[in-house]
Amino acid sequence: MIISRAWHWSTKCIVIMLFFLTGCGIETLPVASQNGVVAQPPATTRPRPPIASNVSAALQPVPLPTALTVVQATPTQDVPVPVGPASQGARASTLVPTKQVSCPDATGPITAPIVFGEGQGLMMVQPTDQHVVPVVKEPENVTEPENVWAHDPVWSPDGTTLAFTLSQPTVDPDLAWLQVGMVCGLDRATGKGRVLERGTTPLESVEVGAWEPSGHALLGTVHQPQLDAQKNYVSDNIAVIRYDLLTHQRQTLVADAASPVLSPDGKHLLCLHVDATSYAVSLMVSGPDGHAPQTLLPNTVDFASIVAPQWSPDAKSIVFTASGGPTQGHSQTPLDRSWLDTLLGVSVVAAHGLPADVWLIGADGKGLRRLTNKGLDDPRAAWSPNGRQIAFTTGAAGGIWLMDLANLQMRQISEQGHYGGIAWLAH
């Protein structure tokens, strides 16, 4: 899929042609899959971790499994995954990576409350200024550092640990396109990094979603790609899991689901349910163990994709990213653009999927509201501790913005911040 920037009026091309003596052109941007499954990207495109969203028709209520599956996971240790040669004729799903990047340390104590993805690393910033400081730098001493990515930070309830997903490709040259994630943790006071959770099979990817209020367990998404004998991608099994950091037990809470978030009081689980056949995505809410699921958004709301839902601090509202949806919404001027883009009339378009915006809905499924109307590229949002503001990334446009929810006024606090999620410390 290739997304092109369209120049709206040919007369503008003539102006630029005379000004620069270069003529008109069209810029094309590589697009990564946003299908909730792992797709093989072009060799020139930096792989991104799988995103649990997809183009879908109208959302339909989908019954979810109610039984819990408990497995004994391997205790997390700050050591690489055991290695060993694959036996001749072995199935692709049994291949073992021969090398794996360990969870990194931070550059030092994490002193700012807002942490976000930038490049292959994480950055931090205060909400009151634009002084951006690296938290996790881009990897060093790695053969292909552009393929190792720290993303989706999540603060622990007590604010002592920052969890995030570290994605990297498998070492098997035939599966170099396949990203495998593990969950890392950084001590806020010292910056020391450690492994919190990793896959139980060589190709299984684990992505952090949220902490339990107690801080003793993590919720996450597990991706297990299914390959044929020739190592071609066939499908992707995904599920929402709970991982106990004390007992190292893993529970499968919801099958065919992703992006889990518990309400601050721990009474409600929010996640995205992905239909295994149509890949339609529904925003679902249930009990904390996945029981009694309900569709939060009515099936008359035609969202093409839904990503990264987040509970408000008082558990009364949910902010999320979505493409499509109702056309009504608060109209805003576009984010600041260069003088050249303004002269050309270039619209903000998605480099990695459909244009998206940040939305708000009540925990009861009422009061659906568009917060931005900018056609952003995979934006992500986080709540302020008092619930009066959100901070959000803008994807290809770049930058971190704060929005006052009372009047939807915005201000930019960083020119950095593209992809990789965002978290705001609650304390």
| Residue 169: how many other CB atoms lie within 10 Å | 18
Q: Hey, is 344 helix, strand or coil?
A: helix
Distance of CA 401 to the CA centre of its chain: 17
CA gap 373, 257 in Å, rounded: 27
Per-residue pLDDT at 143? 56
Query: What's residue 176's pLDDT?
Result: 82
Query: Residue 56: its pLDDT value, please?
Result: 33
- pLDDT attached to residue 312: 97
**Which among 250, 290, 249 has a CA at the least distance from the CA of 273?**
290
Q: Which of 176, 231, 226 is nearest to 41 (CA)?
A: 176
Q: Please tell me the predicted confidence (pLDDT) of residue 46.
A: 37
The candidate with the shortest Cα–Cα distance to 395, out of 347, 345, 346, 357, is 357
Instruction: Decide if 412 contacts 394 (C-beta within 8 A).
Output: no
pLDDT for 413: 93
Domains of the chain, start order: 1-30 (no CATH), 31-76+98-424 (2.120.10.30)
Cα separation, 104 vs 78, in Å, equals 10
Give the Cα separation of 105 and 194 in Å (integer): 8
What average pLDDT does the structure give for the chain?
74
Please state the φ and ψ torsions of residue 87, each to the nearest 5 degrees.
-70, 150
Residue 38: its pLDDT value, please? Answer: 34
Q: β-pairing, 121-125 with 149-155?
A: unpaired
Buried b (16+ CB within 10 A) or exposed e, 91-107: ebeebbbeebbebbbbe
Threshold 0.85, pTM exceeds: no
pLDDT tens profile 215-273: 999 999 999 999 999 999 888 899 999 999 999 999 999 999 999 999 999 999 999 99
Q: What pLDDT is recorded for position 425?
A: 97
Please identify which residue in the block is written with the tokens 């930038």.
118
- Name the stretches of the chain with pLDDT < 70: 1-100, 138-146, 298-301, 327-353
Residues 6+ apart with CB under 8 A from 202: 81, 94, 95, 96, 97, 170, 180
